[in-house]
Amino acid sequence: MTASVDRLLALGDDALVTAQRLGQWCTRSPEMEEDVALANIALDQLGAARLLLTYAGALEGAGRDEDALAYLRTDREFRNALLVELPDRDFAVMIAKLLFVSAYQRLLYERLAGGGDERLAGIAAKTVKESAYHLEHAALWTLRLGDGTDTSHRRMQAGIDEVWPYTHELFESEPDLRGDWLSTVEDVLARATLARPADGWAPTGGRDGRHTEELSYLLAEMQVLHRAHPGARW
């Protein structure tokens, strides 16, 4: 069964917006080594986004390539989950988001790799190994910050609490993935001596193009060059 254009846009936009947020950490993380690690993960996500958006454009059949989809859509046309567009106001918030989204992506890509859409299965098979690495990186930091000093514990817990409500939206189309996702995430939180937040408020709308204002600012920065100089090349 072939995936829908909306489905591919959701996957591709999750990856693209994650890449853009991680890219913003360049020169701002605690050490140069972490700059490189986050940029590496951002580039993995960007690579996945390119493949997914290219496929979405081909399937749509309206002549839009990856650049047209990445640079020339407005916020209302983006299909990413709200979680990935949230601003990283603290290193711990970024790590919490990366932990949650990469645990989700790993399970999802694992499933898609064995799915009926051959082209999507190929993309997923390549990407799932990267997701496992992203998850590992986020988990290592969660452990170190959660089980570190009083300050690092407090800030890591605050990061987890802040973004937890936004994780519900990830499972709207695959509710059955949440069980495995929870066991992965709860295990990391427990080992990091962090409390697993209670479920309650579950903001949604990203998959329908209803986003937080944060996405508009992110897109403005990401798209300004292409909009000012359409087709510009290095």
Positions touching other proteins (CB under 8 A) are 30-34, 36-37, 40, 136-137, 140, 144
d(CA 190, CA 226): 44
Count other Cβ atoms within 10 Å, centred on residue 114. Answer: 9
Q: Which is nearer to other proteins, 6 or 35 (CB)?
A: 35
Q: Which is nearer to other proteins, 142 or 167 (CB)?
A: 142
Q: Which is nearer to other proteins, 44 or 88 (CB)?
A: 44
Kindly state the smallest distance separating residue 36's Cβ from other proteins, in Å: 5
Kindly state the smallest distance separating residue 1's Cβ from other proteins, in Å: 36
Q: Which is nearer to other proteins, 47 or 115 (CB)?
A: 47
Task: Record the tokens describing residue 20, joined without a space.
Answer: 């853009």
d(CA 106, CA 126): 11
Look up tokens 């591709």; give the residue: 12
**Residues 128 and 113 sit within 8 Å (Cβ to Cβ):** yes
Kindly state the smallest distance separating residue 99's Cβ from other proteins, in Å: 15
Kindly state the smallest distance separating residue 136's Cβ from other proteins, in Å: 8
Task: Record the tokens describing residue 86, joined without a space.
Answer: 């949230």
d(CA 198, CA 216): 30
Look up tokens 């399970």; give the residue: 107
Kindly state the smallest distance separating residue 112's Cβ from other proteins, in Å: 26
**Residues 107 and 177 sit within 8 Å (Cβ to Cβ):** yes
Q: Which is nearer to other proteins, 59 or 188 (CB)?
A: 188
Q: Which is nearer to other proteins, 24 or 29 (CB)?
A: 29
Distances in Å between the Cα of 93 and the Cα atoms of 19, 57, 148, 193 are 15, 32, 16, 17
Kindly state the smallest distance separating residue 120's Cβ from other proteins, in Å: 26
Burial class (CB in 10 A: 0-12, 13-18, 19+), 6: middle
Q: Which is nearer to other proteins, 13 or 130 (CB)?
A: 130
Kindly state the smallest distance separating residue 37's Cβ from other proteins, in Å: 5
